[in-house]
Structure 1
């Protein structure tokens, strides 16, 4: 299962933060071990835990208080009800932007291989209301969210939208995710743009990525009106102009913009 994502590549909708349940005593704690430099646009960094991944909705993630991201390591505590948690992650938030699951920068169980973050993850279990796990240390990579380049384009929709459409997103991926592997979708995402409203005839997107690095797959993603994140699916993708039907790989310039990466979606085909 590759990055979140991310990670990957930690998708999600805007949400409010659930800080966990402090009246109980069960918790996890440890240190977040940062690598790289926090972007100047950083608003907050928190640790979050989910009983299953991907969660069916973003509000199923329980969050810690904000942690100090200006140091090489920072201690955190996250109060959780007893139970099993499949994923414990570090999530970055940008100023004036909603929380986004593609901005996962660390995972409990992840590790660095040379300078590359490998996004494996380990579950944690709190057996009862007095359980306390104190050595849940999490590596985190700010390079995931240091994005100096932009990819822009249009998405044109043909045919009839599904009546239960809830959200549309355009996502840039480090590789094409495995079909049906929703974890791979989240952890291989580099950036997700939710700016196109459903039922549009046309919309425009912008994905922020790292310059001079290949983006292997740019896809339009669909979520139903129940916002079930575990049922996200492709509507279509940017095609290679020289090989229609195949994903187009693009390399945006460092500190620059790659324009006219346009996508067509045919609902009735």
Structure 2
């Protein structure tokens, strides 16, 4: 299957019903609205699912996102949403899942519709005085956040943490990212709690294949888009190349160790 095909399977696909005339909503502010269609079984630890809209993608910081104050109804197969927004261009829209057992992060994006006419980048939309309402239906697959397996290993650093460390994380990807947006589109699990040297990690994941297990570092006052890759799990038979990890349902794969080099934290 092509990389584009895999992206379509990995992310929710959108049906764009129309971004057009005034639908009876006041022209100020603008609005995006539509249906949320859930597929699969709702995880028991679901706290809520919230709409997010990004003026820029990938975002430089989480506080750049528009985030709905209330969850959509997650107990039905179909829910309805609407969000008032200023006029302007928005580069992405999606759904963010919050659980009751873990701290939510970027790996918990439940739906991120892609635009097949724009090289499968996240779907954008525009609100103007002439076209103040945009209708987008979102398709959310619960399996994305139903993590029934785990990847475990040890991260070893080649020295102490820099004084300007803001966060260090370990992440699992379905594909090896090739461009900035891939770092969110292919992200399947993320843990920002990496501290200490060595550090024993455990990443909850959905059963499946993971092609990139990586350690990231972010310095103080650095935007999210400037994170540094310190190291990744290497193929034991091909050192220097990302290793593939296959996780079965209910399985914990151990021994996925990573060596992280601090020299990679500096441009």
Whether TM-score is above 0.5 comes out as yes
Q: Partners of 1:157 and 1:121 in 2: how far apart?
A: 35
Q: Residue 102 of structure 1 is aligned with which of 95, 102, 107?
A: 107
Greater per-residue strand proportion: 2
2:240 corresponds in structure 1 to 245
Following superposition, the deviation at residue 191 of structure 1 comes to 0.5
SS at match of 1:186: helix
Q: 1:110 to 1:71 in 2, by over 3 A?
A: farther
Q: Partners of 1:147 and 1:3 in 2: how far apart?
A: 19
2:124 corresponds in structure 1 to 123
1:67 corresponds in structure 2 to 72
2:61 corresponds in structure 1 to 57
Structure 2: stretches of 5+ with no match in the other structure = 13-27
SS at match of 1:76: strand
TM-score of the aligned structures, taking structure 1 as reference length: 0.81
1:111-190 alignment runs, 5 A limit: 120-128=121-129, 132-159=132-159, 161-178=161-178, 181-190=179-188
Greater per-residue helix proportion: 2
Q: Residue 221 of structure 1 is aligned with which of 207, 210, 216?
A: 216
SS at match of 1:137: strand
Following superposition, the deviation at residue 193 of structure 1 comes to 1.0
* C-alpha distance after superposition, 1:63-122 (max 9, x if no partner): 1221011212110011212211100111111114333111112134469xxxxxx97532
* C-alpha distance after superposition, 1:23-53 (max 9, x if no partner): x632211111112222111111011101001
Contact 1:27/1:77 (8 A) holds in 2 = yes
* C-alpha distance after superposition, 1:213-238 (max 9, x if no partner): 21111000122212511112311101
Contact 2:11/2:113 (8 A) holds in 1 = no
Contact 1:3/1:189 (8 A) holds in 2 = no
Q: Partners of 2:160 and 2:80 in 1: how far apart?
A: 50
Contact 2:127/2:134 (8 A) holds in 1 = no
Is residue 2:207 matched to residue 1:203? no
Higher relative contact order (CA 8 A, sep 6+): 1
Structure 1: stretches of 5+ with no match in the other structure = 9-23, 112-117
Query: Which of the pair has more CA radius of gyration?
Result: 2
Is residue 2:91 matched to residue 1:86? yes
Q: Partners of 1:97 and 1:257 in 2: how far apart?
A: 18
TM-score of the aligned structures, taking structure 2 as reference length: 0.81
